[in-house]
Structure 1
Amino acid sequence: MEPAAASSIRSLLYIMFLLYSSLLIAPTSSQGDESRQANNKHVAIFVFGDSVYDPGNNNYLHVGIDYKANFTPYGESFFEYPTGRFCDGRIVPDFAAMYSNLPLWEPYLQPGSHNFSNGANFASAGAGVLEESEPRTLYSQKQLSYFKEVANLLKQQLGDAEAKKILADALYLSSFGGVDYMSFIDSTPNPTKLQQREYVNMVIGNFTDVIKEIYEMGGRKFAFQNVGPLGCLPEFKQQYNHSGGACVEVLQAITSLHNSLLSNVTVELQSQLSGFQYLIFDFFSSLNDMINYPTKYGFNVSKIACCGIGLYRGSECGRVKEYELCSNPNEYVFFDGGHASERANSILSNFLWNGGSEFTWPLSMKQLYELNSTTAIEILSNDKLLFPM
């Protein structure tokens, strides 16, 4: 009897061992599984940018209809009402929040209480790095000032140590530059290469100042979306009367220059700033590939927007009575003349989160999210790191 009992005990222990081992194995097979892995952490996200990232902050600004999307048919595919997002549904920061187990974004300017331990979205349609690009919107320095207010509020609510830890662990997601180059080309239609380089250097220089200020506030993990292929957007092909379908070369050139310099600057910042970690999401190449090879991504239409008027439906989505609207936005890369459809945003967000050298470098957003801030202890013990009032 004793050998049989011993064998039964060994079998039971072996089964228990297998069950225990299976609990240690993290799921890795699907996008949904990857999202669930993020549920074990809480990381705030602070969002800065222009219309590509705006969840509706401009609803609360005295700006013209060109800078608002709080009317139909915007929002129809997901929210079923217009939220102020320039999309038929969710935008890239919404999907990033979902991957990070955070709620969909409410505009920072929306009245009422906010849980800033989750972060905040300051993005504003029409916002440039430079104030002069569109001073009526929340340009980069204005968004930075609101971020400082949030940091001070976290300090008051949670105490210095907890507030600084949240800021150190947070992700800082941004999309800037497009508005500045649209403004520049409007005022300087045929800029020389020297003029282009001088202007891009000015934009990058001012943006670098914003990054450094966020770093001084305790930020360490930055996700930069580069500028998309402006010259290939339906809005600008229509504006420049490119009936043959060719992209607007001057916009493509200045955008490419910006993206190249942004890559160089981030490498320099990492060498200069202790604990600085970053990724660049190649929005330019990702969206460009969708435009050129739509069927590869399951789209039927990539050169014409779902909503608008004109040759490419490049303008006036929802603003005039006679605008056209497609029957299924999921078949289109662009919802309006300058902004991707929700389905395209979903695909782009997958590229951002999961990465791959052709989409993000040197890290993916998932890797940046999971990266513990190596400077958290330094920040908590650094008496010189103060919250500006």
Structure 2
Amino acid sequence: MDPLRLICVFGLLVLAQPRVVMDGTGLQKCGFQAIYNFGDSNSDTGAISAALSEVTSPNGETFFGHPSGRACDGRLIIDFIAERLKLPYLSAYLDSVGADFRHGANFATGGSSIRLGGYSPFHLGIQISQFIQFKARTTALYNQLSPSDPGKIPPFKSNLPRPADFSRAIYTFDIGQNDLAYGFQHTTEEQVRKSIPDILNQFAEAVHRLYEEEARIFWVHNTGPLGCLPYSYLYHNSNPGNLDQNRCVKSQNEIAQEFNRQLKNKVSSIR
């Protein structure tokens, strides 16, 4: 298996707006004014660091020059998406220091999964609930701070999302790998394979909840080659028959591929 095939594939789910351009160059032409992201450490821009345990050096050293709340030496894919759309990097919803939500918010938290349980309490259902509360509270506050005299607008209103932007934003997901990884560590691989439909049904429910909140455009990442993670190799190293030519765990990567196949079908079915 070529690991890059699992890393690089993405899906764009468009509900009720079929003219949206899907290629990277066309993203700018869509005119998105905000990004709302949900996920795990692959797209966490500071939530886990603010809420539970600080992300320390050497994370952040190659781009930001200091820890930036990301479990990464530089930028994440969500950062490059923001750059392409000419929007600021997303502030983490759980980080109250210096947050700016004018152009979106990031609900992703390191260790999160789609289903309840696993490595983090902030599973996808919690993240969606946080978004719904965020939307209701910021919309009410924004409307409350709309005086007839523009010169009297409070300075902090510029950090609030514009209510009209919620229906024109892009909603991104990068989540699911921890559902599989936690299963590999605590159950059998066959049980993990059988859990995929339930995981994806809960993912679809999250999309529907956002749709009810006016979300229409969704960018959905698939999962990566989990069998190539260091702990997967170390755990299975005593049985070389489980490893492929790249020293990755074949069976785990096959399940990751199956997850991606079913995810693609699920995305198509709820389009």
**Band of TM-score, shorter chain:** 0.7 to 0.9
Call closer, same or farther: CA 1:53–1:211 in 2, change over 3 Å: same
Aligned sequence identity (%)? 28
CA contact (8 A) 2:41 2:112 kept: yes
Shift of the alpha carbon at 1:246?
Answer: 2.6
* Residue of structure 2 in register with 1:48 after alignment: 38
* Residue of structure 1 in register with 2:90 after alignment: 105
State the TM-score, normalizing by the size of structure 2. Answer: 0.76
Shift of the alpha carbon at 1:116?
Answer: 2.6
Match of 1:121 among 106, 112, 117: 106
1:94 maps to a residue whose letter is D
State the alpha-carbon separation in 2 of the partners of residues 247 and 42 from structure 1. Answer: 39
Instruction: Please list, as runs of the form range in 1=range in 2, the aligned pairs for 1:345-384 lying within 5 A after superposition.
Output: none
CA contact (8 A) 1:237 1:245 kept: no
Q: 4+ residue runs of structure 1 moved beyond 6 angstroms?
A: none
Higher alpha-carbon Rg: 1
Q: Give CA-to-partner distance per residue, 1:76-126, whole Å, 9 cap, x none.
A: 001111122111111111111111111122322111464433110111111
What secondary structure does 2:141 align onto?
helix
Shift of the alpha carbon at 1:43?
Answer: 1.9
CA contact (8 A) 2:113 2:177 kept: yes
State the alpha-carbon separation in 1 of the partners of residues 223 and 58 from structure 2. Answer: 26
Q: Give CA-to-partner distance per residue, 1:129-171, whole Å, 9 cap, x none.
A: 112123x4421111111111221133213449x9553121110
Match of 2:73 among 68, 71, 88: 88
Instruction: Please list, as runs of the form range in 1=range in 2, the aligned pairs for 1:52-201 lying within 5 A after superposition.
Output: 52-62=42-52, 70-112=55-97, 114-134=99-119, 136-159=120-143, 165-189=164-188, 191-192=189-190, 195-201=191-197
What secondary structure does 2:117 align onto?
helix
* Residue of structure 2 in register with 1:20 after alignment: none
Match of 1:38 among 28, 34, 38: 28
State the alpha-carbon separation in 1 of the partners of residues 170 and 268 from structure 2. Answer: 18
Shift of the alpha carbon at 1:52?
Answer: 0.6
Shift of the alpha carbon at 1:225?
Answer: 0.4
CA contact (8 A) 2:124 2:206 kept: yes
Call closer, same or farther: CA 1:40–1:219 in 2, change over 3 Å: closer
CA contact (8 A) 1:108 1:122 kept: yes
Task: Give me the CA root mean square deviation.
Answer: 2.5
CA contact (8 A) 2:36 2:105 kept: yes
Q: Which runs of 5+ in 2 are unaligned?
A: 1-23, 145-160
What secondary structure does 1:218 align onto?
coil
Call closer, same or farther: CA 1:42–1:182 in 2, change over 3 Å: closer
- Between the two proteins, the alignment pairs up a number of residues equal to 227
State the alpha-carbon separation in 2 of the partners of residues 56 and 163 from structure 1. Answer: 23
Q: Indicate yes or no: 2:246 matched with 1:258.
A: no
Q: Which runs of 5+ in 1 are unaligned?
A: 1-30, 271-389
Instruction: Please list, as runs of the form range in 1=range in 2, the aligned pairs for 1:230-379 lying within 5 A after superposition.
Output: 230-241=226-237, 245-270=246-271
Shift of the alpha carbon at 1:207?
Answer: 0.9
CA contact (8 A) 1:151 1:163 kept: no
